[in-house]
Structure formats: C-alpha cells, structure tokens
Amino acid sequence: MTPKQKPDHKDVAALLAPDILELLDSAPGSIAVETAELHPADLADVAEELPRAALPAFLAALPSDRAADVLEYLDDDLRAELLEQMSTEQAAPLVAEMTPDERADVLDDVDEETAEDILDAIPEETRLETERLLEYPADSAGGLMTTEVVSVLETDTVESALTQVRAIARGGRREAMNTIYAVSASGSLTGVLSLRELLAAAEGARIQDVAWTEVQRVVGTADREEVARVTSEYDLVAVPVVDERGRLLGAVTVDDVIDAIQEEQTEDVQKLGGMEALEDPYMQTGFLALLKKRAGWLSVLFVGAMLTESAMSYFDSELRRAAVLMLFVPLIIGSGGNSGSQATSLIIRSLALGEARLGDWWRVAIRELSSGLSLGSILGVLGALRVLIWQAMAGKGYHIGPMQIGNDYGEHYVLVAMTVGLTLVGVVTFGTLTGSMLPFLLRRLGFDPASASAPFVATLVDVTGLVIYFTVALLVLSGTLL
Amino acid sequence: MTPKQKPDHKDVAALLAPDILELLDSAPGSIAVETAELHPADLADVAEELPRAALPAFLAALPSDRAADVLEYLDDDLRAELLEQMSTEQAAPLVAEMTPDERADVLDDVDEETAEDILDAIPEETRLETERLLEYPADSAGGLMTTEVVSVLETDTVESALTQVRAIARGGRREAMNTIYAVSASGSLTGVLSLRELLAAAEGARIQDVAWTEVQRVVGTADREEVARVTSEYDLVAVPVVDERGRLLGAVTVDDVIDAIQEEQTEDVQKLGGMEALEDPYMQTGFLALLKKRAGWLSVLFVGAMLTESAMSYFDSELRRAAVLMLFVPLIIGSGGNSGSQATSLIIRSLALGEARLGDWWRVAIRELSSGLSLGSILGVLGALRVLIWQAMAGKGYHIGPMQIGNDYGEHYVLVAMTVGLTLVGVVTFGTLTGSMLPFLLRRLGFDPASASAPFVATLVDVTGLVIYFTVALLVLSGTLL
C-alpha cells in the first residue's frame, strides 16, 4: 500500500461507527474507555458517521471534557444543529468546557434563543468571557483568539512563574500553553518567552530579565489576513491580541491561523472564479444555496456582456462590408480575456501576501504595461502569421487534427493580417493593464481585491476588445475593404 | 494612527539601516548589543536594506547563532548569493548553526560547488544529517522537516524525561521543542505528548503510561498538501515524519506548514490564472522571467483558440445568410467561459482541501450537470428576453448609458430569440461540466488540478460553444433564415 492510498480517516471512522452504536445499546459505560486513545478529531469523524438521533447519547457517554473536545472538531453545522436539539441542561456543561474561542464560535452558529439559554446556564465568569469574545467579528483577531493564555507578572521570578505554569498545566488545559506572556501591573503586554526559555532560564532571575521585550502583536479588530501575515513573517505559534491600550486580551493560536488562511484562500479562489464565496465546503453546500451563489454574478456578467452585442451592432455595416473580420472576433476577445486573467490572479495574490501594497500601483502599472506590450507583440506576430500562412495554404486541403489549414481572406489579406496583429497588441496590452489595475482599484474602494474575478476581467475586456478591433480595422482597411 | 496604517516593518528597517551602516564603520563591536532585542525577522529586514557589500561584515559583527537566525529569515535568493560570495571559512559556521531544515534549503539554493565546500567544512554529524535531508524533494515532508526534535525512550520515567528536556533546552535551541516523541528501542515512533503534559504528569510515571499512542504522522515522501491536511485536521504544532518502517526521522513544524500552504496557494492561483507558477514573489521576479512564465501558456492557448477561426470559417455560409447570428457570438462564448471558470475554481479548491476525492467525480458530475442546466436556463431566458425586448424597442432611440436599447433582428426574431436561448442552455451546461471535470481528469493523469486554468477552460469552451451555437441555429432556423 503506497502512502498516497492509505485508508482515509473518514473510512476508519465509518468502520468504527457500528461498534460504537452497538456499545451505546449494550454497554454505554464502556465507550469512554474503548475510545480513550482516539484523537478527538477521529472521534468527531466517528460521531459524524452515527445516526443523528444517537449523537446526544454518544456525547453523554463520554467524560464532559472529551465530549467538549469532540464538539470542537465536529462539522460546524452539525454541531449547531445538535446543540439546538439538546436540552440546555445537557448542552451548557459541554459548551462551558470548550475552549473560549470555539465556545464563542458555536454560540455564534446556533439560533439566538439557544445561545441565550446556554449563556444563562454556564458559570458567570465563563459567560462574561464569552460575551466579550462575541463582540468581535468572527474573522477578526478578537473573534479568532482564545483567552486561555498563560500570563505572569513581569516582576515575578522564574521559579515562581514555573510553579504557576505547572499549576495551570495540572489544573486543566490551556490552549496557548507554549508561550508565556509577561504583563505589567496594569495588564499591558510587556514581554514574551517560550516555555522552553522559561525552563532554560537561570534560577532566581526575574521574568523581565529573561523575556523578549519586542513582542509582535495585533489588536482585537485586526482582520485575519493581518494575523496570518504576522504569524507567517515571525514564525509564531501564537500571536498575542491586545486592546487599543496595549492590554493583553488573549492570543490567536497557529491552528486557528491555518484554518483562517485556508478559508480566506478558498474564498479568494471562488471569487476569482467569478462567484460569491460559499459558506460551507462544496460537497456540503445545498444545491439551491450553490446555485444562488453562482447565478448572481453569472447574470450580472451576462447583462454586462450584452454590451458586446451592442458593439457588434454598432459596427454592423463594417462587418457586412468586410465579413472576413468576423472570423477573428472570438480569437481576439479570447486573447484579451486570457491575458487579463493572468494579470489579475498575479496581482490579487501579491496583494493578499502583502508583497505589493496599494502605493505600489504605479510601479505595477508600468511593469504590466511593458508585459502587456511584449505579450501582445508575441500574440500579434502569431496572429498575423496565421493569416499569411493560411492564405498561402488556401485550397490545398491540409489538416492538423480537426483544424483545416488554409483559408482565402481575399486580395487584401496582408492588410487583414496587419489588422489582426495590431489589434492583438492593443487588446492584450489593454487586458493586461485592466487585469492588473482592477484589484488595486477594488482595494482602494474598500472591496476585496479577489472580487476582480477572471470572468469579470474577461467580460470587461470583451467589449473593449471589439471596439479596439473595429477601430484598428477602420484605420488599416479604410479605402480598401472598408 | 489606526492599526491598519501603522508603519510597516520594512519602513522601520529602512530607518534603522543607516545607523547600522555607521556603526559598522565606527564600532562594529557594539552592533550585537544594539540589536539584541530585535526579532531575527526584523534584523533580516534591516540586512536587506544594507548595501550588498556590507552584508558579510554585518553578519560577522553578530554572534554566530544570531547571524544564523538572520540567514533563516533572509530572502532566499539574497541568502544564496551572499553565501556564494562569502569565504567557506565564514559561511560554514553560520550554515552549521542554522536549523537542519533551513540548512538543507539554503544548500539546495546555492550553486553545487559552494554547497560541497560548505558541507565539507561543517562537523561530520551535521553534514550527514544535512545530506539525509537533501535526499528528499524540497516540497515533501522530508524536505520540510527539521531533525531537531526531542525524543525520549518510551521506558523512561517522567522525571528522567524532564531532566533530559531541561538539559536540551539549556544546551541550545531545538525547533520542535513543544512536543516530545516517545520511541521504542529500535527508534520506532510509539507515542507523543506535549511539553505541558510532561510538566503535568504524575512523578514516577513512565512515558509509555502518559503518552498518546495514536500518533498522527506522515512518511518522508508525503507531499506538502498531505502535511498541511494532517496539521490542519488535527490542530498540530508539529507533524512527526517517519520512514517506511515507522522510525522517527524528524518533524515538520507548523511555521513551515504555513509557509508551504502559502506557497502552494500562490502557485494554485497563478496556475488558475493561466500561467506557470513563479518561483519568487511577483515584485522580485525579473521582467524576462515573468514574461517567460506568462508567454508560454498564453501562446499555447492562442494556438488552441485559432480553432475558433476554423469553426467560424466552417460556418461561413450560414453566417453570411444569417448575419444576425454574428451579433451574439461574443455574448454566447463569453457565457460559456464564465460558467466554466466558476466550476473549475470551485472544484480545484475542493480537491486541494480534500473535501472532494477522485472517486467523487461522478457525484460532482451529476451535481454540476444539474447546476449547469439551471444556470444555463437562467441565462437562456435572459438572452431570449434581450432579443424580444430589443426587437420591441427597435428604432425608438432609447439608451442605458452607452448601450443602445433596441435593434431589428428581422421578421424571424422569435426564432432568433429561441436560438440564442437554447444555445445558452447548451453552452453553459457544457462549460460547467467541462470546468468541473477537467480538474479530476488532470489529477487522474498525475497533473496538478490547478492547471485547469480559467483561460484553459474558456478556450476549450469557446470552440465548442461555436459548434453548439451553429448546430442549434441550423436546427431552429432551417427553412427560414438558413
């Protein structure tokens, strides 16, 4: 068995589920022991394979901290549905055991009434903490952070800090346990050190002597792209989150950063493909929800593309006089769209990674203008050659695959070749420039640059491409074909 | 100053660089102390702002472990260039101090001669370790992993393990310090526990009693997408890497997973946009290198798109008899391309995240066939309405912006509307199905599904769209216009 084809965890879960179901009937007390060595993520996979009705009993059969772990790894929708079905008495203790960030997420997902009932039934301190987290948007640093961080006073000694850390470690889990934050008496974040550094520190030293004082941090309202950028640039396992006055609120742990990066990226690719971003994975999105996300943009683009018909009508008399022009319409507008797609995806990614900033727009514009002219010249030469070669081969009956070689473009074929070539230079340059500037424009206006989708650029370029084509044709062919 | 506009780290580096340059001349001995509190990533930014010629002296002014840290955060190309310029005597100690995975990366980047000279000059053990890492492709688990992991025998006691860990922590850094791996006498990975769990464990217990025995792992040859999937699914800070016999080789730490995810995603988006993936960030890629990556695909697509001219020629007589058909060519092929782009980006992302697997192709095909028919029907109705409304408005001189309302499509305008509507159903369905199946086909053939770029799908659909259009026209208009 090669590693690529090893059984998927979901398949293993499907195999385990019937055993668990049987145990639920015969000996629910043994489930906790039987599954003790499974990673909670795998246990969540097993749970997803069980019939919905068996889920509350399954969770009840686990110790409440394990059940809370399983809830954390369960599919978001299923989890919300489950909590809505459970009694407040069963749901509240599980939710209270969850890590603060996941707890806030799940209460964001369930209906308002269930959220309020659960909040009322969990301990006061946990409730206040959760309510504070719920104030931040779900994809901001504050929405992603956990408040379970380890902080010590900067004036503490290393030994005292180590005792506190061991006590916290024994007392229950803390998510962001590998990093220790030093705070001042007023709660301001003043330093950071890793658990390793604390272990290695000389005994008797004070935290402020051994902690790093240049602490990378984000404010609670920072968006997830900013959090991802700081984490990735400084190779952090957790980014501390502070309020406007620099007081430590919590930390975003790297596992949540990875999830945020994956989600952001999925959104970007879907937008780039010309649709609204889905809320759930593709395979779990209902047919109608999927259709709605796609039909909107497709219809808007379609109505925009109707301008091509107007442009074609406008040049109707030219097209009738020089019907040969018609043959190249799809080739020309397609090339504009392709070069625009290239440019737009390049720039969207550069902006997302922070490689290019808004102020770089003119540097990018100069670069893409040169790129467009070069690429356009290459395609222009290919296009003109095509006309000249096909003319020379006309009527000889050659084929390459399905493509017939040779066509008669009439006595002015050299002018036709020139028209096609020059148009391609213009269309590709315009496509490249439009595709590269659109993401900057969108960001400037406060939109997501990724909304500059390939189809959007292609549609924009289609209409302009036709205008460029017929204008060049009027200039080159005037007096002969036109 | 709002957080979004805080000065960028690069700007701070630009401000610091002149001071450092002055110190290099006047008091190089004080540089280490002056910069002691800076994060190595920031120090690397400062280094990037210095003149190239000053870099070796700058690194020499730092303690060798700090200099090695700076090298780890330096831009890959600059780092390679720098090591090639330095003497082996200066370069080797710095490279030896780097973490094993970064060391292997940098030796992969420099020219072969430099790499061999450096390898010969570093300690035997470090050399062997590096050579083992160099055997794995750079984007496999083996290429990404560090060998600096903490492993203890499963039969050790907790206290003995803790003593070992404190000794290792004091002896120098280990990257993957927060996770402790338990191995059998033969080196097989048998368990895992976090540093926190070790701290919290009861004294006197054995590692095998307190470690988790279900350890998520990858083999050295696994690709980076697999590593990312395991990390993200199980919320790991490090994924252990084993050989085919299950022996622990090292671990991929989460910071490298994030970098790998970012790189993979950048590649995917660039491919999706219809170009070869760049090796360096856009702003740092030379003009000619950029052109080369773009011109290849653009030319291939252009040659493919020439088939549209062949298709147009093939239907030349139909086009001359029913010139009205011509007007809708850009609108129709554009809609096919747009729906194809949507479908392909949806499916590429689903495959990348492992939401959909190769075996799901037929389920996706059924889904996308229904989506395509529905979306096609929506656009078909819009298209037919456009013809009917424009016909009714003909000659009345209305405008919406630049778009003239009204056009005369002749006496058979109802048949024209029907042709346009039915064609759109066909073209959009075909575009959607092609766009969704192409990524599956590419993966099946062993290629990256992301190569199914939006422009590739659009070009494929353009040619077929024309054939569908004229076939429908022949069926609907035969006996009237054709």
Question: A106, A136, A166 — which closes off a domain?
Answer: A136
* B120 Cα to chain A: minimum distance (Å): 30
Q: Are residues A121 and A154 in the same domain?
A: no
Query: For residue A259, which residues of chain B lie inside 8 Å, CB to CB?
Result: 232
Q: Are residues A241 and A312 in the same domain?
A: no
Say yes or no for a CB contact (<8 Å) between A327 and B338.
Answer: no
Q: pLDDT tens digits, residue range B321-371?
A: 888 888 999 999 999 999 999 899 889 888 888 788 888 899 999 999 999
In a domain, residue B186? The reply is yes
Kindly state the helix (H) or strand (E) to which residue A98 belongs, with its residue range. Answer: none
The share of chain B scoring above pLDDT 90, in percent, equals 24
Q: Between A and B, how many residue pairs show a Cβ–Cβ distance under 8 A?
A: 400
In a domain, residue B142? The reply is no
Cβ atoms B320, A323 nearer than 8 A? yes
Q: Are residues A128 and A157 in the same domain?
A: no
Strands (E), A377-420: 398-400, 403-405
CB burial readout B134-164, b (16+ within 10 A) else e: bebebbbbbbbbbbbbbbbbbebbbeebbeb
Global confidence as pTM: 0.76
Question: A96, A115, A136 — which closes off a domain?
Answer: A136
Q: Which of B269, B290, B355 sits opposite A371 (nearest CB)?
A: B290
pLDDT band at B6 (very low <50, low <70, confident <90, very high): very low
| Interchain contact B200–A (C-beta under 8 A) | yes
Nearby residues of A456 by Cβ (< 8 Å), 6 or more positions away: A274, A297, A301, A438
Say yes or no for a CB contact (<8 Å) between A350 and B283.
Answer: yes
**Assigned token pair, A344:** 């737009």
Say yes or no for a CB contact (<8 Å) between A345 and B305.
Answer: no
Closest CA relative to residue B362, chosen from B306, B308, B451, B440 = B440
> Would you state the pLDDT for residue A436?
93
ipTM: 0.75
| Interchain contact B233–A (C-beta under 8 A) | yes
Q: Are residues B249 and B372 in the same domain?
A: no
Say yes or no for a CB contact (<8 Å) between A329 and B329.
Answer: yes
CATH of the domain at B352: 1.10.357.20
Say yes or no for a CB contact (<8 Å) between B360 and A195.
Answer: no
Residues in chain A predicted with pLDDT less than 50, given as ranges, are: 1-8
Q: Are residues B78 and B16 in the same domain?
A: yes
Q: Are residues A160 and A85 in the same domain?
A: no
| Interchain contact A268–B (C-beta under 8 A) | yes
Say yes or no for a CB contact (<8 Å) between B326 and A319.
Answer: yes
* B412 Cα to chain A: minimum distance (Å): 17
Half-sphere exposure of residue B381: CA atoms within 13 angstroms, side-chain side: 7
Closest CA relative to residue B458, chosen from A456, A421, A450 = A456
Residues 143-162 of B with CB under 8 A from A: none
Q: pLDDT tens digits, residue range A407-450?
A: 888 888 999 999 999 999 999 999 999 999 999 998 888 888 88
Cβ atoms A482, A475 nearer than 8 A? no
Residue of A nearest to B45 (CA): A233
In a domain, residue A64? The reply is yes
> Would you state the pLDDT for residue A395?
78
Query: For residue B232, which residues of chain A lie inside 8 Å, CB to CB?
Result: 255, 258-259, 262
Alpha-carbon span B72 to B41, nearest angstrom: 8
Q: Are residues B29 and B125 in the same domain?
A: yes
> Would you state the pLDDT for residue B402?
66
In a domain, residue B277? The reply is no
**Optimal mutation site among A6, A292, A310, interface B, most CBs of chain B within 10 A:** A310
In a domain, residue A1? The reply is no
Q: pLDDT tens digits, residue range B63-91?
A: 888 888 888 888 888 888 888 888 888 88
CATH of the domain at B8: 1.25.60.10
> Would you state the pLDDT for residue A331?
92
Looking at residue B157, the DSSP 8-state letter turns out to be: B
Q: Are residues B243 and B295 in the same domain?
A: no
Q: Are residues A394 and A425 in the same domain?
A: yes
| Interchain contact B286–A (C-beta under 8 A) | no
CA–CA distances in Å: residue A159 to residues A6, A248, B160: 47, 23, 20
* B449 Cα to chain A: minimum distance (Å): 13
> Would you state the pLDDT for residue A173?
56
In a domain, residue B332? The reply is yes
| Interchain contact A445–B (C-beta under 8 A) | no
Owning domain of residue A226: 149-254
Q: Are residues B96 and B157 in the same domain?
A: no
In a domain, residue A180? The reply is yes
Partners of A219 in beta bridges: A242
In a domain, residue A176? The reply is yes
Alpha-carbon span B58 to B74, nearest angstrom: 13
* B424: pLDDT strictly greater than 90: yes
The share of chain B scoring above pLDDT 70, in percent, equals 96
Question: B221, B247, B270 — which closes off a domain?
Answer: B270
Alpha-carbon span A20 to B208, nearest angstrom: 26
> Would you state the pLDDT for residue A364?
93
**Assigned token pair, A327:** 């043959």
B266 residue type, one letter: T
Q: pLDDT tens digits, residue range B128-186?
A: 888 888 888 888 899 888 888 888 999 999 888 888 887 777 766 555 567 899 999 88
Q: Are residues A18 and A91 in the same domain?
A: yes
Helices (H), B86-177: 88-97, 100-109, 112-121, 124-134, 141-144, 158-171
Strands A398-400 and B248-253: unpaired
Tally of domains within chain B: 3
CATH of the domain at A198: 3.10.580.10
| Interchain contact A102–B (C-beta under 8 A) | no
Q: Are residues B307 and B258 in the same domain?
A: no
| Interchain contact B367–A (C-beta under 8 A) | yes
Q: How far is CA B118 from the centre of its chain?
A: 31
